[in-house]
Amino acid sequence: MHRDDRGYRRGPWWDIACWAAAMVRELTEPGAERRAHPDGLPTVAERVPEAGRGPIGKIMPLARYAEVHRALVEGELPPYLLATPTRTNGLLDPEALVERLEGYERGGVEALPLDLRQALLRLRRTVTGETAARAARLTGRAGRTAARWLTDRPADPETVLRREGGSSVVAGFVFPGPECRELLGDLLDARTHEESCESLLAVFAGYREPAAALLARGPGRFAIGDLHRLAAAEGPAGPGLMLVLARFLLEGPDGGAALGGRRGGSGQEAGRFWRPVGWTSVTAGEEAAPAVTVTPRVSMRLAKKPARVLESSARYP
């Protein structure tokens, strides 16, 4: 056995560097993976940590590296990936996804399942009639799935937040149908790890409410950059986003807000939500949400365009 083959037998691989090294080796020494496993290749599940064992902002990229590595080993690597963002904030333009799928169909290329899933999670919600018509002409499995999202997008999951143990917030999600659950279910179920807004939106750029709900569970303080990132992402707002905003206003150094006539933030107050004009009902555990009064200075800051969003496309494998 080649002395470097020992690394192939250890798992799971938690470091992206392991996947990068394995791909480089497979490219420079074709067949290295099969030689290291004469009795059969390990599955992706054996190489990637279980979804519940780590932050989704880490598990999802690892799973995508594993999928690409497997395709490389099996000689089925596509010429390009579908999910590469077209916007610096991680979003993917519908026109670009359709163009990429048209190229796949012309070349007889099969989409990688997790790559397509990530593309749908990043997909922008504004679709032109021309793009929808082009999507409707796609005939492959991946093309038909994308056309469904572009012409009749399934409803988003509903966020349910509740308090546990004083300041702890537990996020739950109600999925309106099987397509929504298939796309988001295992990524949202039983999430317990604290994650940054940046890493969450690298996965959920087109679904900011679930990302905000996961973000809101942690005890950390929010920065104005987090609000900029959430504002630049897409998807309907809900209790998760409202809670992030309320906590920022209460806890941030530039908050300038009064919640129920008080300043500062106890665990109980942090579990309440801002109810802007137009929201008729928001659930915060068992209590209704009092309004947060926002000063003009804070309102102007929140209205500004993001000065800086996720600049590096290297964050999006």
DSSP-based three-state secondary structure for 163: strand
| 17-21, 42-46, 309-313: the lowest-pLDDT one | 309-313
CB-based contacts of 140: which residues, under 8 Å, 6+ apart? Answer: 101, 104, 105, 110, 111
Q: How many residues does the chain have?
A: 317
| 32-41, 79-88, 239-248, 266-275: the lowest-pLDDT one | 266-275
pLDDT higher than threshold 90 for residue 309: no
CB-based contacts of 196: which residues, under 8 Å, 6+ apart? Answer: 57, 215
DSSP-based three-state secondary structure for 258: strand
Considering the chain, what percentage of its residues have pLDDT values greater than 70?
Answer: 69
The pLDDT of 75-80, averaged and rounded, is 93
pLDDT higher than threshold 70 for residue 103: yes
Residue 171, strand partner residues: 161
Residue spans of the domains in the chain: they are 3-73, 94-151, 158-314
pLDDT higher than threshold 50 for residue 280: no
Highest-confidence segment of 216-220, 268-272, 282-286: 216-220
DSSP of 172-206: EEE-SSHHHHHHHHHHHTT------HHHHHHH-TT
pLDDT of 96 reads: 97
pLDDT of 57 reads: 84
Q: Measuring CA to CA, which residue among 312, 304, 141, 122 is closest to residue 205?
A: 122
Residue carrying structure tokens 């399942």: 113
Res. 22 pLDDT band, cuts 50 70 90: confident
pLDDT of 279 reads: 29
Q: Where are the beta strands (DSSP E) in the chain?
A: 158-164, 168-174, 257-259, 292-294
Render pLDDT for 121-167 as a digit per residue (tens, 0 to 9).
999 999 999 999 999 999 999 999 999 999 999 999 999 888 776 66
Render pLDDT for 34-60 as a digit per residue (tens, 0 to 9).
777 777 776 666 777 665 567 888 888
Mean pLDDT value across the chain: 75
Res. 252 pLDDT band, cuts 50 70 90: low
Q: Report which of residues 313 and 105 the model is more confident about.
A: 105
The pLDDT of 215-233, averaged and rounded, is 82
Render pLDDT for 185-200 as a digit per residue (tens, 0 to 9).
988 876 667 788 999 9
Tokens of 147: 């056309």
pLDDT of 275 reads: 40
